[in-house]
Structure 1
Amino acid sequence: MRPKYWAHLAARSHRGNICRQAWTFLRKPYTTGAQQTIPEPGTESHGQLQDSLPGTVQSHRCHVFLESPIRPTEFGERHTTPVQRALLLRFLRMGVIVTPAWHDSGSGERQSAVAYSSLGGRLDISDVTLDNIDLVEQQLKDHIAGPLTQATSSQVDLYVCTHANRDCRCGTMGGLVAEALREEIKRLQKTNPSSTPRIRIGEVAHVGGHKYAANVLVYPQGEWLGLVRPEDAPRVISSVIALPARPLDPFDPILLKPHWRGRMGLGKDEQVDLFQAQATD
């Protein structure tokens, strides 16, 4: 798993300093090309980061993932696309995040998107271009208003930030976690295929919180996790499987308290209040 990921990163990364340090993950604690250390669980620095996790998710009621043919490990430091910028401008101050996403299954000739909202659940958009941006805007506005779509429960998406050129910690730990999650899904599908729901692992560009790498976003539930490590993959997958396949509301239990950053549909203060209310449960 690790050699496979780093062989890709070394071959395709834009920054040589990442490549030169690519194999440092074999030693603990994990380090990055910028000589930034990812703290070990149980250390004081890790505990401080963990304490600061709740309430660090940007307040949003909808997250749009634009399918990219390029893996985030190949993105430039400030990667954006014309379609992404157009959507962000149209939904300015409306609680909509737009993020490029990549899947190892590849993408078709058209740029597709999947949107998750707290009231509408999942929406698949087969074609997103500047030419049909008005139509896409209206589709998203209708979706944000709800109700839940039938497609909401069809699949769970886990997105891991692997945007190495934005921050080496995401490239280092994010890549390892993405591979570990894929391996865990394969293992479950082989050992117990009938009870394993459809879970797709994707990689995304910058979502904020480099210091919390690896960051894992779980949709349609809308949960954001931080400080995830490869060895956490089995627990992450089993916990996600136990969740209802719908956006979580303020009354639902939070996912994996030691890693929980926040939830779609809640403001930052509401995220903190929810965590504190459930901290002793």
Structure 2
Amino acid sequence: MVNRITVSLAVSVVSLLSGSSVWASGGIHATVIYGEDTRKDLYDVTSSLELKLADSTTAVMKASDLTSSGAKTRIASHNFGEEFQLCEDEPFRDQPTAAFCSASLVAPDLMMTAGHCVVDQDACKQTRFVFGFNVKTRGKYPSEVKTSDVYSCKSIVRREQVEAGPDYALIRLDRPVKGHVPLEISRAGNLSKGDEIMVIGHPSGIPTKVAGGAHVRDPNPSGYFVANLNTYGGNSGSAVFNSVTGRVEGILVRGERDFVQRDSCNVSNHCPLDGCRGEDVTKIANVADLIPENR
């Protein structure tokens, strides 16, 4: 990221999808691949723990991009490769892009995301949290979800957005969630350098991706930690998990530039595992007091 300015993961995605101003403030934020690209669609995930965790995460979408008709809700999307002018060999280029952020369920009617994803009550009214925007069968991309899996933002319980610090929002939903189990959060506060972590969310707004094999680089900045997670614009708000315990350690909020130009098209920006600036993750301790324990 140029000059290490804190900016929004959501902005580049929503700008491309809507052609209009975004709700999140703060410019353009993007991220990167560290070492090997570990992103997986759900059909490629073999871990029962990872699949269980993914089932409690959502895409964050604009209400205007969703059309409900009875039991099904159709999603207005764009082709990922075309929208981002990707090169032919870029992974997932044929998939749809529709989400501007990611979120996770932490209580029956509480959703957790980044603060810059839902900036005020007006944005809240236009925001939807969508379960099921994923690929469970190779080549079968989602164009609709169950209407019962679409939830509205009722109110912002707590929100903070500090340029070089915490960035989070706890959202009260319009109704309790059915069919998905709230995630367990880490309350120990003992994250250490080298601890293995993973992230589940919607890179560049595409269907759910699970990306593991990452590690904590620096656990000590105020209100957040730094890691080498493989994340992109649209991953903002994604839950970051302890790979051993499966508990949420934080919320993905900031990071490196995601795409670079190669000839006349774009490819993912690649960094060594310990290279570039790293990705910033808001510590779960910032919101733990508002999340019920032992639900």
Q: Which TM-score applies when normalising by structure 2?
A: 0.24
Higher relative contact order (CA 8 A, sep 6+): 2
Larger Rg: 1
Higher helix share: 1
Q: Which TM-score applies when normalising by structure 1?
A: 0.25
